Amino acid sequence: METFFPQDPEVRSLVQEQLLEPLAAFFTGLNAYLLGFYPQAIEGLDAVRAKAGGSLPLASYYLGLAYLRAGEPLAGEEALSHFLKTVPPERRRGAAYADAHHRLGGAPQ
């Protein structure tokens, strides 16, 4: 039976580090946000953003929302601005992109 997960130890390690760990951390932070645990969401999503850079732009989006819900508007605006800068052009018509623009007082481009 063929498996998706690479058998080569070096590739396996890279997939684990660059894909699986950031995704698991993103969903942990997202769940904390959705459950209203904003400080935990901020901690987790900020770590994801730092590690994954622009490869998981939604981490910055939900980080911004968590900061706003936690009463930290400046940090929320910074995270939402970062999100807007990292969204690939082909994805800019999505709901999160429009919402971030709206929260920052602008119209989506």
Please report where in the chains the tokens 């911004």 appear, as a residue. 64
Chain segment 36-70, per-residue pLDDT in tens: 999 999 999 999 988 886 778 889 999 999 999 99
Q: What gap in Å lies between CA 31 and CA 56, rounded to an integer?
A: 16
**Residue closest to 79 by CA, chosen among 45, 108, 55:** 45
SS3 36: coil
If you write DSSP's letter for every residue of 25-77 in order, what string do you get?
HHHHHHHHHHTT-HHHHHHHHHHHHHHHGGG-HHHHHHHHHHHHHTT-HHHHH
What single DSSP character describes residue 6?
A: -
Q: What helix, strand, coil percent values describe the chain, rounded to 5?
A: 75, 0, 25
Tell me the one-letter amino acid at 57.
P
Chain segment 91-106, per-residue pLDDT in tens: 777 778 888 888 888 7
